[in-house]
Amino acid sequence: MSLTLATDDTGGPEIFASLQGEGPSVGRPVAFVRLSRCNLACQWCDTAYTWRFEGDNRPHRDDVAFDRKANQVTLDEADVAERIAALGQDRLVITGGEPLLQGSALAKMLEHLPDIQVEIETNGTVKPPARLDVRVDQYNVSPKLAHSGNPADLALIPGMLDFWADDPRAFLKFVVASPSDLDEVTALIEKHRHPRDRVYVMPEGTDSSTLREREAWLSAAALERGLRMTDRLHIHLYGDTRGT
C-alpha cells in the first residue's frame, strides 16, 4: 500500500512545516502533508493541481489543466512518515485534495507516528475508516456550498452532515464568497444540528486584498449570526503558494 501526494514547486512531495492558516488551530506550528486526488471540483479551488489533471473537464475559474505525472508522487507510507517526523512538529495536518479517499493508507502511515497529534482537512463527504478515526484529534470539515459549483447530492450528503454533527472533534468551516452564502450556511447547520461554537465562516480568496474586503462584511455577519470567523493567515504571510 502507498500514498499519492501532491508535489511542491521542486517536484518533490508536498510535506512541510508551517503555521496552520485556518480554523480552530490557526497560528499553531504544525507539519503538513498534502495528498492528491479529490472527489469534488470547486470552481475556486486553490489547490486544483491536486485533481484537475489533463483530460478532466470539470469547471474551474482558471481553466488550467495540470500534468498528472508532474503533480503527483507516490511514496510508501513509512517513507512519508519519516519525512514528517524529520520536521520535528508535534501536530500533523493532513490535507488535499480529499485525504479520506486514502484513509486506509493514512492509517498505516500513522502507525509509524504514534505520538503525533492529527488534524484532517476534509470536504465531509467521505467517512473515515475506523482504523484511521481512532488516531484523529480534530477534523476540519469544509462542506461545499452552491457557489462551489458542485452538485448538492455529491457535496452535501445529509447522512454525512449528521455524522459530523455528532462528532465533538469535527469543526465545520464554510467558504463564503457573498453575503447570500450565509443563508445557506445557517440553513445547513440548523437542519443538521451543528453547534454554532464548532462552525466557522471563512472568506474565499487567494490574495490579502480580497480577503480583507470580504472580511469587512463577513465579520459583521458572523457576529450577528453567532458564528466564528476565521482568516486565511497563510495567504497574508506567504501568498497563494505551494508548501506554505
| SS3 label, residue 15 | strand
For range 164-171, the mean pLDDT:
98
Going from N- to C-terminal start, the domains of the chain cover: 2-238
Amino acid at 44: W
| SS3 label, residue 229 | strand
Q: Distances from the Cα of 47 to the Cαs of 71, 171, 222, in angstroms? A: 11, 21, 26
The reply to whether CATH 1.10.10.10 applies to domain 2-238 is no
pLDDT tens digits, residue range 43-87? 999 999 999 999 999 999 999 999 999 999 999 999 999 999 999
Pairwise CA distance, residues 50 & 66, whole Å: 9
Pairwise CA distance, residues 170 & 128, whole Å: 12
Model pTM above 0.95: yes
pLDDT of residue 43: 97
Q: How open is the CA angle 33-215-144, to the nearest 5 degrees?
A: 50
Contact 25, 202 (CB under 8 A): no
Amino acid at 24: P
Percent of the chain beyond pLDDT 70?
A: 100
Phi, psi at residue 110, to the nearest 5°? -70, -15
- Grid coordinates representing 34 are 498534502
- Grid coordinates representing 5 are 501526494
Q: E strands of the chain, at which residues?
A: 2-6, 15-19, 29-34, 72-76, 91-95, 117-122, 138-141, 170-176, 199-203, 228-229
Task: Classify each residue of 116-137 as buried b or exposed e, where b means 16 or more C-beta atoms within 10 Å of its C-beta.
Answer: bbbbbbbbbbbebeeebbebbe
Q: How confident is the model at residue 1 (pLDDT cuts 50, 70, 90)?
A: confident
